[in-house]
Amino acid sequence: MKYDLIIIGAGPGGIFSAYEALQLRPDLKIGIFEAGNALEKRHCPIDGKKVKSCVSCPSCAIMNGFGGAGAFSDGKYNITNQFGGTLYEHVGRDQAIALMQYVDTLNLKFGGKGTKLYSTSNTHLKKKCLQNDLHLLDAQVRHLGTDINYVVLENLYALLSEHVDFHFLSPVDSVKKLDEGYEITSKGETYSGTSCIISTGRSGSKWMGEICDSLGIKTSSNRVDIGVRVELPAEVFADLTDELYESKIVYRTNKFQDLVRTFCMNPRGVVVSENTNGIITVNGHSYDDPARYTENTNFALLVSNHFSEPFKDSNGYGESIARLSNMLGGGVIVQRFGDLIRGQRSTPNRVAESFVTPTLSATPGDLSLVIPKRQLDGIIEMIYALDKVAPGTANDSTLLYGVEVKFYNLEVEVDENLETIHKGLYVIGDCSGVTHSLSHASASGVYAARHLYSK
């Protein structure tokens, strides 16, 4: 079968590139190949009752499928160049913001109308952070919530499915350059396309490396973020979350001068586990619907690790730490902050007697046996620093889930148009290493489609 455009990956990058391409050229024949399920078939079996931990499904419903890993990740679209990726280095700062704002209008159009746009502009909290050696990054944040984000994706799928051939549960095995266009294989079948956009997300990192090797595309890898997910009473962070919802706060540790940051804040949300290439890590969700609120807020604390030559497998380093957690805890480990500071492992009884009720069924244990000392020292420093702007963060009962690892994809060599050395082959979204967020990934999809078809 021959297509005008083949898109590999139905995450935000793939979705918005298909949408924009059809706006410019409604006559296009587009095929989208996705390793996971259609949206309505994405169901994680963990219910907290009969199934309490990951059962290693053939395709993780949290990570793969229409909507990508962002489908159930709280629907936070950050409009900023200060974090979330380096798209601006390719397309320019003003263009990057304009693309993210355009994506925001589409999210509102397809079901997000009425959701709130938060902003750090003129907030007194920035001064409060600076007074305590913390740095609040500037951003506008559109919070859809996991529930409204699902509605937006449903509506986008309803539109796209009328014009696009979707191939679900169809992982792509190879991508080959032809004299004119590209050829892919999936489940033993061969398809060709005049142009190809690859947007396989973080879960496609290893696959992306193999494809780049086969096509002679240069890559580099030197970063991974390792940390924990913090869960505490929602009232502790209410001053920040009520005004900003998502606050990205950065701290430089005294001991090692490492950067530690807050990430993916979920006011009144839940902690969840996810499966990346067979490794169980932790994440968080929250909802727009007040009926689904919990009493807790959760967020990640991540320590950035940058490596130099000759080391080239930063993701492998992160995976080894996550596997150690899986080995000791059978999945995710949870520990009270007070137990960690006193050098004792948490037990089921200690967690049960805690003033914070966990929203994820995890194995009580000792994170100091899993997370390297350098990163753990940085996390502890950050918790005490946050306690100055959000008193109660360093309480004994604060729960720490581990490990949370943010795998950064290989940085694929692409030009200012996100095009590889092969004309008509684009690598966008988180699998490119250029973006690390829903908004940047979506914007990169719009940009690639415009470069292909606006002429």
Q: How far apart are the first and last CA of the chain?
A: 26
Q: Which of 399, 112, 387, 143 has its CA nearest to residue 270?
A: 399
Residue 345 has pLDDT above 80, yes or no: yes
The CA distances from residue 17 to 126, 185, 342, in Å, are 36, 21, 51
Beta bridge partners of 273: 282
Q: Provide the token pair at 331.
A: 């999945």
Annotated domain spans of the chain: 2-115+144-219+411-453, 223-407
155: CB partners within 8 A, 6+ apart: 110, 111
Give 222's pLDDT tier (boundaries 50, 70, 90): low
Nearest-angstrom CA–CA distance, 221 and 412: 9
Nearest-angstrom CA–CA distance, 149 and 75: 5
DSSP letter at 408 equals P
Q: Any idea which of 166-170, 255-259, 404-408, 446-450 has the lowest mean pLDDT?
A: 404-408
Q: Provide the token pair at 251.
A: 């701290």
Mean pLDDT over 363-385 rounds to: 96
Which residue matches tokens 């943010």? 406
Give 305's pLDDT tier (boundaries 50, 70, 90): confident
DSSP letter at 236 equals G
Beta bridge partners of 305: 224
The CA distances from residue 416 to 86, 97, 135, 436, in Å, are 11, 16, 30, 17
Residue 99 has pLDDT above 90, yes or no: yes
Task: Identify the pLDDT of residue 265.
Answer: 92
Dihedral of alpha carbons 57, 58, 62, 63, sign: positive
The CA distances from residue 286 to 14, 137, 293, in Å, are 24, 21, 7
Q: Which of 102, 130, 89, 10 has its CA nearest to residue 431?
A: 10
The CA distances from residue 282 to 54, 193, 264, 334, 441, in Å, are 11, 37, 12, 10, 21
Task: Identify the pLDDT of residue 383.
Answer: 98
pLDDT tens digits, 115-140:
999 999 889 999 999 999 999 999 99
Confirm if 378 and 347 have CB atoms less than 8 A apart. Answer: no
Task: Identify the pLDDT of residue 146.
Answer: 86
Q: Provide the token pair at 80.
A: 């900023």
Q: Provide the token pair at 149.
A: 């984000």
DSSP string of 83-139?
Answer: SSB-THHHH-HHHHHHHHHHHHHHHIIIIITT-EEEE-TT-THHHHHHTTT-EEPP-
pLDDT tens digits, 227-248:
999 999 999 999 999 999 989 9
**Cis omega before residue 282 (within 30°)?**
no
pLDDT tens digits, 321-344:
999 999 998 889 999 999 999 999
Residue 342 zone, left/alpha/beta (φ > 0; ψ -120 to 50; rest) = alpha
Residue 163 has pLDDT above 90, yes or no: yes
Fold of 2-115+144-219+411-453: FAD/NAD(P)-binding domain (3.50.50)
Residue 312 vs residue 232, higher pLDDT: 232
Mean pLDDT over 373-378 rounds to: 96
The CA distances from residue 165 to 11, 159, 192, 318, 330, in Å, are 15, 12, 13, 36, 40
Helix (H, G, I), strand (E, B) or coil at 172: strand
- Whole-number mean pLDDT of the chain? 93
Nearest-angstrom CA–CA distance, 90 and 427: 13
Residue 142 — φ and ψ, nearest 5°? -90, 115
Dihedral of alpha carbons 248, 431, 163, 446, sign: positive
Task: Identify the pLDDT of residue 86.
Answer: 93
Give 377's pLDDT tier (boundaries 50, 70, 90): very high
